[in-house]
Chain A
Amino acid sequence: AQTVTQSQPEMSVQEAETVTLSCTYDTSESDYYLFWYKQPPSRQMILVIRQEAYKQQNATENRFSVNFQKAAKSFSLKISDSQLGDAAMYFCAYGTSGTYKYIFGTGTRLKVLA
């Protein structure tokens, strides 16, 4: 069965600094998708970034980028120039083509210190 593991329950970062959130997953599939979602204290979950497994190039969205290591089954999120508004729960998620079922990790709470 596919699993997603986020081993850091909580992380802290100083404003303007860079932080990396870790995510590992287990799968025997070759075609899948990986996502990072952000859930601010207001609880509306929003997509931060996504990565197709077949793409070797790491996805980037403004200050957010991923380090996708397919062989190691690792998918970390790097947040550059951290802002107070980045404080939230971050969830890593996995989806397999054609199953329409997404598996989420347990989340990492990110605190941004002023």
Chain B
Amino acid sequence: KAGVTQTPRYLIKTRGQQVTLSCSPISGHRSVSWYQQTPGQGLQFLFEYFSETQRNKGNFPGRFSGRQFSNSRSEMNVSTLELGDSALYLCASSFGHDLYEQYFGPGTRLTVT
């Protein structure tokens, strides 16, 4: 069974631009969660989608948005990029019920210059 895939793996953008990251979950998984990982901050929860519905979101500004498609693939978008948005963005998929293991993708490394 193929794992969680994220594209692109690396991205360099300049301040003010916007970026879209993609996540394809494991087949059969209907939940996709997004996290921002920075040194010293650990993983910060961005949002979680299940069957195209956002069920929860973290404390991030409105510049961060996401969506999920009918095939469970998910995208997250960051508009008006700031230097502080440089991070590893991880997505994780699961069946969507409590306690089910989250399977993480390799992440997208975003660098904002």
Instruction: List residues of chain A with CB under 8 Å of any chain B CB.
Output: 6, 33, 37, 42-47, 50, 52, 91, 93, 95, 97-107
Assembly CA distance A107 to B43 (angstroms) = 9
Flag the segment in B63-71, B75-83, B96-104 that touches A: B96-104
> Within 8 Å of chain A (Cβ to Cβ): is B61?
no
CB distance A47 to B101 under 8 Å?
A: yes
Closest to A104 in B: B43
Q: List 10 A-B contacts (CB under 8 A).
A: A42-B106, A45-B104, A91-B43, A98-B98, A100-B96, A100-B98, A101-B48, A101-B56, A104-B45, A105-B42
In the complex, what residues of B have CB within 8 A of residue A91's CB? 42-43
Give chain B's interface secondary structure class: strand
> Within 8 Å of chain A (Cβ to Cβ): is B62?
no
CB distance B106 to A43 under 8 Å?
A: yes
In the complex, what residues of A have CB within 8 A of residue B44's CB? 104
Neighbour of B102 across the interface among A6, A47, A98, CB < 8 A: A47
CB distance A46 to B104 under 8 Å?
A: yes
CB distance B90 to A45 under 8 Å?
A: yes
